[in-house]
Amino acid sequence: MLAPGDVAPDVSLVNQFGQPVRLSEFRGRPVAIVFFPLAFSGICHGELCELRDNIAMFEGPNVALLAISVDSKHTLRAWAEREGYEFPLLSDFWPHGAVADAFGAFDAGTGLAERATFVIDADGIVAASFSTPRGDARSLDQYRAALAAL
């Protein structure tokens, strides 16, 4: 898993609308990348709803929030519409899990992204990273601590 001080790979994925999103387009602005295993699953639902409901913690310091899973863009769009997620959901569908793998956050045994988060500074360097086991949700305190590393 990428650690603080590592250069974040310049990856590109499509969002829930099929529009390309490249990480380097955010240079000059910090980014929080939240990998999650699957849309419409219990813990992931709770985590992303908590981020939606506390989006001010990212907007205040002008941090772009990007959530990534191996789901298709169609699944992510349906989920975003149902739950009111206004931040981008990015599809790491094909090549399957390649972006999660580039961050060291892919479980090849299950074919799913790990529950991992990376806060990247305005220069594209990982400022903080953390993960939790698949069955455990990340806490807002973990996000606060990671954002404080900027």
Q: Which amino acid is at 104?
A: G
* Cβ neighbours of 55 (radius 10 Å): 13
Q: Give me the amino acid identity at 81.
A: E
Residue 49 known to be catalytic: no
Choice among 11, 23, 39, 44 that is catalytic: 44
In three-state secondary structure terms, 91 is strand
Q: Angle formed by the axes of helices 73-83 and 42-53, to 10°?
A: 60
Question: CA 65, CA 144: separation in Å to the nearest integer?
Answer: 13
- Tell me the catalytic residues: 44
